[in-house]
Amino acid sequence: MSLRRLIYYSALVGGWAAFCGWLVSEMLRADVKPGAAALLVMLTAGITGAAVGLGLNVVAGMCNGQWRQLLRRAVPGLAGGGIGGVLGGLVGNFLYQHGQPRAIGWMILGLAVGVVEGLYEKSSRKIRNGLIGGAIGGLLGGLLFDPVVRWTATGSGMTGRAASLVVLGMSIGGAISLAQVVLKEAWLTVLDGYRTGRQLSLTQPVTVLGRSDNLPLPFLGPMNRDLEPEHLRIVRRAGGSYVLEDNHSRLGTRLNNQPVTEAAPLADGDVIRLGRNLVRFNQRRRPRVQEQPAAPASRWSEPLPAAGATGIASATPPAPLPRPAPSPGPLPPSAPALLPPGAPGKASATPPAPPPPPVPASGPPPSLPATPVPPPPPARLPAPPSAVRPPPPRSVAGVLPSGARAWTLRPPPPPPPAPSPSKETDSADPRKADLKKD
């Protein structure tokens, strides 16, 4: 049954159930003593409430349509409505005797009838909606109770009691179903397949769809013989969103014509396919999206320095560079030694090896060893001290590894120049002065 029809049928069944309850109570009034007015009110209210609770709880399960399931729902509705009717009749009669309107007593009856469906289905949302609808319907029917009795009063008073109780039952039934429909958050609608047009309000944390007749929205008949008893699940998450999960079925489940292999989020208007049945998912209230805190700025997100910058080490470890090939010839003495292969991150400040001593001009050549020895590098004569200019400081270009310091390689300082002879030294020596006079 659709949710709109649920309101109409609930009001209609509530009115007829109240009429049946009044009819039974009128047959039992003959056995009650005439002076027991309070007992008559409690009896009438209790029987009427039991009949209304039974009828409304059965109507709420019409989406299933199985007689066994409907009979199971009859007993809780009968008990809950009867208890609420007895309490409501007692409170209402007490208020009426003290000059107060008895609407509070009928509101208690509405609360008891409204909570039955939620307790049977173990749904906190249906309990809340039923309490709201039952309170409104009971209060409205209670306010109309006395005016209807006066408008339809007869000599025996039977017509007035019947009309007022029917109005009360219709108010309670219509208000409870209206609250369930208006306050719903998500629901399913059968678009094609078994019993098209059925709707189910999603009020439980997990809703199972399949072929089992114990489910709230079963898919029966020969066309669904290949479905699993529990084919899929619709799970409600904490934020208000819903996800679809396939229960490892043979036929599989499709969401918007796409196969479902893992938990798939549902959005308003999505179409679920299980076998030959199409079910549409609708959601009125969008789930509350929890704002994620902004991610902290990464310590590696700063721009890297340009190539050739000195004294700045990159925070990101660079990729390992290939080892430099050995140079074919020796480096000049003025060039600093670069990093040796195998020891990255350390600069060698060792000066170049001194040139070998010169070979004497005369004498027999020395005997050569048996093993060939590579020729020594050619000797380079040192420049005079006055002509040697210290080269400017040279820095190694590139990016050093993380945590390493930048090294600036400087050549060793040149030796101080030797003192040259001057005239003052000659004049200071008396021997040299005499030789010059002679």
**Least confident interval from 93-107, 135-149, 217-231, 300-314:** 300-314
Residue predicted with more confidence, 232 or 294: 232
Exposed, middle or buried, 104 (CB in 10 Å: 0-12/13-18/19+)? middle
Instruction: Please tell me the predicted confidence (pLDDT) of residue 127.
Output: 93
256, 283, 310 - which closes a domain:
283
388-413 average pLDDT score = 53
Q: Which two tokens stand for residue 241?
A: 């969103």
110-118 average pLDDT score = 91
Residue predicted with more confidence, 363 or 178: 178
**Based on the domain organization, do 159 and 12 belong to the same domain?**
yes
Distance CA 1, CA 70 (A): 14
**Based on the domain organization, do 137 and 29 belong to the same domain?**
yes
**Is residue 263, in this structure, part of any structural domain at all?**
yes
**Is residue 354, in this structure, part of any structural domain at all?**
no
**Based on the domain organization, do 68 and 129 belong to the same domain?**
yes
Percent of the chain exceeding pLDDT 90 equals 34
Instruction: Please tell me the predicted confidence (pLDDT) of residue 92.
Output: 86
**Based on the domain organization, do 173 and 236 belong to the same domain?**
no
Kindly tell me if the per-residue pLDDT of 360 is higher than 60.
no
**Based on the domain organization, do 165 and 47 belong to the same domain?**
yes
Distance CA 62, CA 2 (A): 10
pLDDT digits (tens, 9 = 90+) for 299-348: 333 444 444 444 444 444 555 555 555 555 554 444 444 444 444 444 44
388-411 average pLDDT score = 52
**Based on the domain organization, do 33 and 101 belong to the same domain?**
yes
Q: Which two tokens stand for residue 412?
A: 């060793």
How, if at all, do strands 394-395 and 264-265 pair? unpaired
Instruction: Please tell me the predicted confidence (pLDDT) of residue 146.
Output: 86
**Based on the domain organization, do 11 and 115 belong to the same domain?**
yes
**Based on the domain organization, do 142 and 213 belong to the same domain?**
no
**Is residue 268, in this structure, part of any structural domain at all?**
yes
**Is residue 316, in this structure, part of any structural domain at all?**
no
Instruction: Please tell me the predicted confidence (pLDDT) of residue 107.
Output: 92
DSSP state of 418: P
Kindly tell me if the per-residue pLDDT of 435 is higher than 80.
no
Alpha-carbon distance values, 23 to 18, 129, 159, 167, 209 (Å): 9, 30, 11, 15, 41
Other Cβ atoms less than 10 A from the Cβ of 270: the count is 17
**Based on the domain organization, do 121 and 205 belong to the same domain?**
no
163, 182, 201 - which closes a domain:
182
**Least confident interval from 50-59, 124-133, 283-292, 305-314:** 305-314
Instruction: Please tell me the predicted confidence (pLDDT) of residue 303.
Output: 44
Q: What band does 290 get if pLDDT is binned at 50, 70 and 90?
A: very low
173-200 average pLDDT score = 92
**Is residue 265, in this structure, part of any structural domain at all?**
yes
Distance CA 229, CA 245 (A): 15
**Based on the domain organization, do 115 and 256 belong to the same domain?**
no
Kindly tell me if the per-residue pLDDT of 425 is higher than 50.
no
Instruction: Please tell me the predicted confidence (pLDDT) of residue 383.
Output: 53
**Is residue 215, in this structure, part of any structural domain at all?**
yes
221, 249, 283 - which closes a domain:
283
**Is residue 303, in this structure, part of any structural domain at all?**
no
**Is residue 365, in this structure, part of any structural domain at all?**
no
CATH number at residue 240: 2.60.200.20
Number of separate domains in the chain:
2
Instruction: Please tell me the predicted confidence (pLDDT) of residue 273.
Output: 95
**Based on the domain organization, do 99 and 158 belong to the same domain?**
yes
Query: What is the residue range of 80's domain?
Result: 3-182
**Based on the domain organization, do 173 and 224 belong to the same domain?**
no
pTM of the model: 0.62
CB 25 within 8 A of CB 158: no
